[in-house]
């Protein structure tokens, strides 16, 4: 029995004070039809997204993760950010500005078949003004004979143009090598490792700002200006019972007054960047309005990013309740957010401040669980017990054999199971192992990742 083992061993679980891995951001800019979305899809590849698996949720394909060799990054297709009724040039200009605001490295995409156009020059002018590294790529160079067409593009002033072909997948490696050279070395901010970073996400009017204010009161200390906080999110530091928190405020970020700030895709992008920097994400719902599709989409992103999650039901003061209301709402949440079954739910009111302070101990708990490392011997005992209880799956007479399990990372806890044949590890069995690990060690509030690898 694992409970007994836990009690007899001195150290079974340790909390590791490390930072979440913040991936660098790459943005693709360029006028329409140069091939931005083609390149984006090439780089992103066929990623299976849990968000896409949820019925009724269509993924915004403007932001995704990608990798090249050992580099992992996030990538934005700025062409997918539709900026209302603005004239053509104004749209391109604003997309370039979004790239400058959001990205660590910019891919400036042009079309080798059309040569340098006035719109390309317009984009170039905006990119000059930023200090962000720019890699110039000339697309639609589908065969080597066409390489001469890249020389005109030196005139744009971004050095050597990289000939590529999105349709044929040519030249992307060299281009991405150049992009990766400019990735920042640091992890984005200088906060101490033991500070807990959290953000509040949710659609407009659920009460995110009110909740931040309820927590911070007059103590609000805005630290956006401190060295290292390159993004213009509004960060506040808050101390409660000796624990320091960094609140990454997405709601406050709206007020910059740029036209594109009001577009929905842009606010999603902003929320994603805040999630990326957080240890813990509070998914805020509005008790008055219930759960709608947009809530599910937002929550799906928090899950996919591998951050700890707490579901907060705000405006609990505003609804009529009896003793069953909370259970009914909880059940609705569990039905709608099945992939977030590990996330605790807190019902509160930012307005009356009722139970607002319950949030902080919960944040501490899920943040510790997110950073938890399990002792290997105990982990393997748990897995062996699990296998004894529920035999491994078979396929065509071959049975999955589990040799050894080890935790390879925290934030989120990530386990590698060494097996005879990884294909034999079915999703349902993986899920079973996850549940056994959760039964043994807790892990409330944090996703867990499990990978099957062939034993060499």
* Binding site, annotated residues for GTP: 30-37, 77-81, 139-142, 202-209, 249-253, 314-317
In the numeric block, the tokens 């960094």 are attached to: 246
Q: Which is nearer to ligand GDP, 204 or 228 (CB)?
A: 204
Which residue is it, tokens 């970020």? Answer: 253
The residue from 14, 58, 167, 239 that contacts ligand GDP (CB under 6 A) is: 167
Cα separation of 446 and 278, whole Å?
A: 13
Peptide bond into 95 cis (omega under 30): no
CB distance 64 to 74 below 8 Å: yes
CB closer to ligand GDP out of 112 and 413: 112
Shortest distance, position 208 Cβ to ligand GDP, whole Å: 3
Q: Shortest Cβ distance from residue 30 to ligand GDP (Å)?
A: 6
Helix (H) or strand (E) holding 249: strand 243-249
In angstroms, rounded to a whole number, what is the distance separating the alpha carbons of residues 351 and 329? 20
Could you write out the DSSP letters of every residue in 32-79? TTSSHHHHHHHHH-S---HHHHSTT----TTEEEEEETTEEEEEEEGG
CB of 263 to ligand GDP, least distance (A): 16
Three-state secondary structure call for residue 180:
helix
Q: Where are the beta strands (DSSP E) in 146-215?
A: 162-163, 196-201
310 bridge partner residues: 282
410-435 as b/e, with b when 16 or more CB fall inside 10 Å?
Answer: bbbbbbbbbbbeeebbeeebbebbbe
Check if the beta carbon of residue 95 is closer than 8 Å to that of residue 79: yes
Q: Count the neighbouring beta carbons within 10 Å of the beta carbon of residue 293.
A: 14
Contact between 109 and 34 (Cβ < 8 Å): yes
Pairing mode of beta strands 414-419, 449-454? parallel
Subset of 351-410 contacting ligand GDP (CB under 6 A): 351
165 part of the interface to ligand GDP, by CB under 6 A? yes
Residue 32, interface with ligand GDP (CB under 6 A)? yes
Q: Cβ 33 to ligand GDP, closest distance in Å?
A: 4
Site pattern 99..128 for ligand GDP (x: CB under 6 A):
------------------------------
User: Applying CB under 6 A, which part among 100-108, 136-144, 233-241, 406-414 lies near ligand GDP?
Assistant: 136-144
* Angle subtended by helix axes 88-102 and 264-277, to nearest 10: 10
Residue (210 or 369) nearer to ligand GDP, CB: 210
318 binds ligand GDP (CB under 6 A): yes
Residue 290 lies near ligand GDP (rule: CB under 6 A): no
Residue numbers in the known binding site are 30-37, 77-81, 139-142, 202-209, 249-253, 314-317
Q: How far is the CB of 291 from ligand GDP (least distance, A)?
A: 15
Helix, coil or strand: residue 405: strand
Between 33 and 230, name the residue whose CB sits nearer to ligand GDP. Answer: 33
Which residue of 12, 27, 34, 175 would you call a contact of ligand GDP, by CB under 6 A? 34
Question: Minimum Å distance from CB 319 to ligand GDP?
Answer: 9
- What does the block give as tokens for 265? 């895709």
Angle, helices 118-129 vs 88-102, to 10°: value is 30
| Residue choice 36, 273, 297, 303 for contact with ligand GDP (CB under 6 A) | 36
Between 143 and 396, name the residue whose CB sits nearer to ligand GDP. 143
Phi (first) and psi of residue 337, to 5 degrees: -125, 60
Parallel, antiparallel, or unpaired for β 105-111 and 398-399?
Answer: unpaired
* Residues 402, 391 contacting (CB under 8 angstroms): no
Among 142, 293, 430, 444, binds ligand GDP (CB under 6 A): 142
Which 190-219 positions form the footprint of ligand GDP (CB under 6 A)?
Answer: 202, 204-210
- If one asks whether residue 435 binds ligand GDP (CB under 6 A), the answer comes out as no
**What is the nearest approach in angstroms of ligand GDP to the Cβ of residue 346?**
12
CB 107 within 8 A of CB 36: no
The least CB distance from residue 185 to ligand GDP, in Å, is 31
Least CB distance from residue 315 to ligand GDP, whole Å? 4
Q: Closest CB to ligand GDP among 112 and 188?
A: 112
**Residue ranges in 323-352 that form contacts with ligand GDP under rule CB under 6 A:** 349-351
Shortest reach from residue 407's CB to ligand GDP, in Å: 36
Position among 23, 315, 370, 411 found at the interface with ligand GDP (CB under 6 A)? 315
Q: Please pick, from the candidates 19, 93, 140, 362, the single residue that binds ligand GDP as defined by CB under 6 A.
A: 140
Residues that bind ligand GDP in the complex, under the rule CB under 6 A: 30, 32-38, 79, 139-140, 142, 165-167, 202, 204-210, 251, 314-315, 317-318, 349-351
């Amino acid at each position: 029995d694992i409970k007994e083992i836990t009690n007899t061993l001195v150290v079974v679980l340790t909390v590791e004070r490390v930072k979440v891995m913040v991936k660098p951001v790459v943005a693709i800019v360029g006028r329409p039809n140069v091939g931005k979305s083609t390149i984006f899809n090439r780089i992103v590849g066929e990623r299976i997204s849990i968000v896409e698996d949820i019925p009724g949720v269509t993924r915004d394909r403007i932001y995704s993760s990608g990798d090249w060799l050992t580099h992992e990054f996030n990538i934005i297709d700025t062409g997918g950010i539709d900026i209302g009724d603005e004239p053509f040039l104004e749209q391109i200009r604003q997309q370039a500005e979004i790239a400058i605001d959001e990205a660590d490295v910019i891919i400036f995409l042009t079309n080798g078949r059309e040569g340098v156009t006035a719109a390309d020059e317009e984009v170039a002018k905006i990119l000059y003004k930023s200090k962000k590294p720019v890699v110039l790529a000339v697309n639609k160079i589908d065969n080597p004979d066409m390489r001469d067409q890249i020389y005109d593009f030196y005139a744009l002033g971004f050095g050597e143009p990289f000939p590529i072909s999105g349709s044929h997948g040519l030249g992307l490696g060299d281009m991405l090598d150049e992009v990766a050279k400019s990735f920042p070395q640091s992890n984005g901010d200088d906060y101490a490792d033991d500070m807990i970073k959290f953000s509040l996400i949710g659609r407009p009017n659920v009460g995110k700002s009110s909740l931040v204010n309820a927590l911070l009161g007059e103590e609000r200390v805005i630290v956006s200006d401190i060295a290292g906080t390159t993004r213009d999110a509004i960060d506040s530091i808050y101390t409660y019972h000796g624990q320091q928190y960094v609140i990454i405020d997405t709601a406050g970020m709206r007020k910059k007054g740029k036209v594109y700030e009001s577009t929905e895709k842009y606010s999603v992008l902003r929320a994603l960047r805040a999630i990326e920097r957080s240890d813990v994400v509070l998914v805020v719902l509005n008790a008055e309005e219930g759960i709608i599709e947009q809530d599910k989409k937002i929550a799906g992103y928090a899950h996919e990013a591998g951050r700890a999650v707490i579901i907060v039901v705000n405006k609990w003061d505003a609804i009529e309740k009896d003793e069953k209301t909370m259970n009914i709402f909880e059940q609705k949440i569990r039905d709608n957010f099945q992939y977030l079954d590990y996330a605790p739910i807190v019902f509160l009111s930012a307005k009356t401040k009722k139970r607002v302070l319950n949030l902080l101990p919960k944040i501490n708990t899920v943040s510790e669980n997110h950073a938890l490392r399990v002792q290997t011997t105990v982990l393997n005992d748990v897995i062996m017990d699990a296998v004894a209880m529920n035999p491994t799956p078979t396929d065509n007479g071959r049975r999955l054999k589990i040799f050894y399990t080890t935790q390879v990372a925290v934030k989120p806890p990530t386990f590698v199971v060494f097996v005879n044949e990884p294909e034999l590890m079915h999703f349902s069995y993986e899920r079973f192992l996850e549940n056994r690990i959760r039964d043994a060690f807790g892990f409330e509030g944090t996703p867990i990742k499990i990978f099957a690898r062939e034993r060499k």
